[in-house]
Amino acid sequence: MYKKHLVLSDIHENGESLFRFMRKAEAMESGFDDIWLLGDLFGHSNQSNGNAKFDLGFLDALDRLADYPISAVFGNWEYWLLHPERDNTSEAQAKCKAELEERRQIITERKIRLFDKIMKKEVVCLPEENPQFTVFHGCSFPCHDGQVYHAEPCESYLNPKDLNIVTGGLFENRENLKTQHFLFGHTHIPGYFVYSVSTFVNIWRQFTPSVPEQKIEYGNGIQRFGINPGSAGVEGKDFPRTALILDTEEQTFQFLADREPLYS
């Protein structure tokens, strides 16, 4: 049974940062057992490495990833890649049509073995034995559902401004969230929600520079957590590139940060 998990989201074709996170995690005490992917390995390379054209070197990073046991959900970019019929009807997808066409051709020609695994599910419960976490890329709770368009979990954002509506709805109703906790990506904002079972109060704790040095306990029976590892590939205005080490035996999680400049 795997106990220590490297959690990665929103890599966006940044192979260099991906390699660094794997090396950081491997160098930690006891390393890690497997990898949980929260979607968006592809796309937005102009944001992660400054070049909208696909970097074939990223395929080496994907091959390295595939050497590990992997559990994965797909993100909006993987969903877009598999649905070319929506290129002209989805506004967000239409803006990325040229990038999507280029990547579809590469995925077809190179037969990327990891791609099929990513595309299997949109929502999973992990670990497989005694699930503690529901894992998805975005969040689909009814408050995101419009009369015209129903947002899928890979498309919906879960921002701190949605705190009381979304996380309260997820945590209070077991039909919405059957596990104690959840992991999500998509926003590129590292941090975590804490929901008190006794007081029904939600708190959003945002990533700060001191956070990567902390091990945070999540299994106290009093609180439920919704955790975003942040983007492993895109450095934000207020955040470095980030990932997560999750220990489902210790019931702790710890952020990893990549603040180094990219060489490419």
**Tens digits of residue pLDDT in 137-171:** 986 554 444 455 556 666 666 555 555 566 777 78
pLDDT for 159 equals: 55
Q: Where are the alpha helices (DSSP H) in 82-188?
A: 91-95, 97-110, 113-118, 168-172
In terms of Cβ atoms closer than 10 Å to its own Cβ (0-12, 13-18, 19+), residue 89 is exposed
Residue 2 has pLDDT above 90, yes or no: no
For residues 133 and 126, is the Cβ–Cβ distance under 8 A?
A: yes
Beta bridge partner(s), residue 244: 7, 255
pLDDT for 111 equals: 81
Instruction: Please choose, from the candidates 131, 144, 242, the residue with its C-alpha nearest in 3D space to the C-alpha of residue 191.
Output: 242
Domains annotated for the chain, with CATH where assigned, are 4-258 (3.60.21.10)
pLDDT for 158 equals: 58
Instruction: Please choose, from the candidates 156, 220, 231, the residue with its C-alpha nearest in 3D space to the C-alpha of residue 191.
Output: 231
pLDDT for 151 equals: 64
Q: Where are the alpha helices (DSSP H) in the chain?
A: 15-27, 45-48, 58-65, 76-81, 91-95, 97-110, 113-118, 168-172
What pTM was estimated for this model as a whole? 0.91
Is the model more confident about 59 or about 161?
Answer: 59
Mean pLDDT of the chain: 86
